[in-house]
Amino acid sequence: MLTIGSVMNNQADSAKIQAVIAARPGIGREVLRAIVGLLPQIEVAGIVGGGLSVLNLVQKNPPSLLIIDSGLPEDEMVALLTHIKQDQPQIRCLVLAETTRQQATFMALGADAAVLRSEPTERLTEALDNMGLW
């Protein structure tokens, strides 16, 4: 049964930024999902464990934001980011990097933001704020 409250909640949810997280299964992925899930502007629309799964998902239903975790193999991250930025440049990409070298590499490949995994959570939310998604 639809109520005024449920319609309003659906409208509020539809205004949220749809995000997909690409990260290997494990506690790091769950922590990332929890952090992103706390942001009122973002709805985690999907969580996938590899580059091919991400490509399949974003072709069917492109999100506004793709968050790529450095737990994936680096060559897979490079290929994924390159493909997304060539084929679907409207998708904003934030990469969590292990090293400053990775951070620079991903920015050079077109990432909209790259944050070191070792940085405080505030740096992740700051990067998201600076991406112009909202």
Q: What residues make up the domain containing 95?
A: 17-124
Tell me, what amino acid is at 134?
W
Classify residue 43: in a domain, yes or no: yes
Q: What is the CA 35 to chain-centroid distance, rounded?
A: 12
Q: Does residue 3 surpass a pLDDT of 50?
A: no
Confidence (pLDDT) at 13:
55
Check if the beta carbon of residue 113 is closer than 8 Å to that of residue 131.
Answer: yes
Confidence (pTM): 0.86
In a domain, 54, yes or no: yes
* pLDDT tens profile 59-101: 999 999 999 999 899 999 999 999 999 999 999 999 999 999 9
35: in domain: yes
Which of the four pLDDT bands, split at 50, 70 and 90, describes residue 134? confident
Q: How far apart are CA 119 and CA 60, in angstroms?
A: 33
Residues 6+ apart with CB under 8 A from 66: 19, 20, 22, 54, 58, 84, 91, 92, 93, 94
Instruction: Check whether 4 has a pLDDT greater than 90.
Output: no
Over residues 13-33, the mean pLDDT reads 90
Residue 91 belongs to domain with CATH number: 3.40.50.2300
